[in-house]
Homo-oligomer: A and B are copies of this chain.
Amino acid sequence: MIDKLLLKLRTRDEIGAEEEAALRSLGGEPREIRPNRVIIKANEILDRSILLLDGMVSRFKDLGNGERQIMELHIPGDFLDLHSLTLKRLDHSVLALSHCRYVEVPHEQLEAITVRFPHLTRMLWFSTNLDAAIHREWMLSLGRRTAVARLAHLFCELHVRLGIVELTDAESYRLPLTQTQISECLGLTPVHVNRMLRELRERSLATFKDSIVTIHDPDGLKALAEFTPDYLHLDRFPR
């Protein structure tokens, strides 16, 4: 059930048998939620964190005029709000983008891990630090990359992240977002995202059709995006 989380963590460090057992004991029955439902509202006080098993989820904030910025896309194996363990309330909302399955993990159980399993604690800490690293790369996109490069970069990042949890099919993967939602990730308008998708298509770099991203020229796409996966911290280290 938490196999995708294990894939994600074991890409970065060893997880021992006891640690694995501790993780497997977390959470209750899986729950389901339909697309476009808010999973967590900003500022609610939380006593549990949510581990995504299936589907895709966004964290976002809105401005007063209704403009939305998506801060991160979450995929199976990600905690949606592990940071709520220490923050206690979120500064943003969390939305299901597709049909999702997840488990809720009470903070008590996570705190018990911080008492009994220092290394596993650091691995959970790692995963929140990884979220922050992804935030930073997105800041670089939003602040400095051109529109095409932002889009190309997003496609590269998701290809790597989904690959880790075995949700890619060679050079393609499912991305259940509308062009409007993509524009909310990239700080652009939906109209402009549409034009940039056309550009990637016309340059034979990548296509996005029927919720499937297909990368035709990985090296070209990476070059355009200036994508280097360092920020995803893919190497195995004792952490």
Q: Which residues of A contact B (CB under 8 A)?
A: 42-43, 59, 61, 63-64, 67-69, 71, 83, 85-89, 91-92, 111, 114-115, 118, 121-123, 125-126, 128-133, 135-140, 142-145, 186-187, 226, 230-231, 233, 237, 239
Contact = CB atoms under 8 A, between A and B. Distances in A.
Contacts of A67: 144
Contacts of A142: 139, 142-143, 187
Given A132-B128, A132-B131, A69 B139 contact: yes
Given A69-B139, A136-B61, A136-B91, A86 B129 contact: yes
A129 B128 contact: yes
B125 A118 contact: no
B233 A87 contact: yes
A140 B88 contact: no
Contacts of A61: 136-137, 140
Contacts of A230: 42-43, 89, 91
Contacts of A111: 118, 122
The 5 A-B residue pairs with the shortest CB-CB distance in the complex, in nearest-first order: A143-B187, A142-B142, A132-B132, A86-B126, A91-B231
A45 to B, nearest CB: 9
A59 B132 CA distance: 13
Contacts of A129: 83, 86-87, 128, 132
A92 to B, nearest CB: 6
Given A71-B136, A142-B139, A144-B69, A125 B64 contact: no
A86 B132 contact: no
A69 B118 contact: no
B135 A239 contact: no
Most buried by B among A129, A131, A226: A129
B135 A136 contact: yes
13 contacts: A61-B136, A61-B140, A63-B145, A63-B226, A68-B144, A69-B144, A87-B129, A87-B133, A89-B233, A91-B233, A128-B128, A132-B135, A135-B139
A118 B114 contact: yes
Contacts of A68: 144
B128 A125 contact: yes
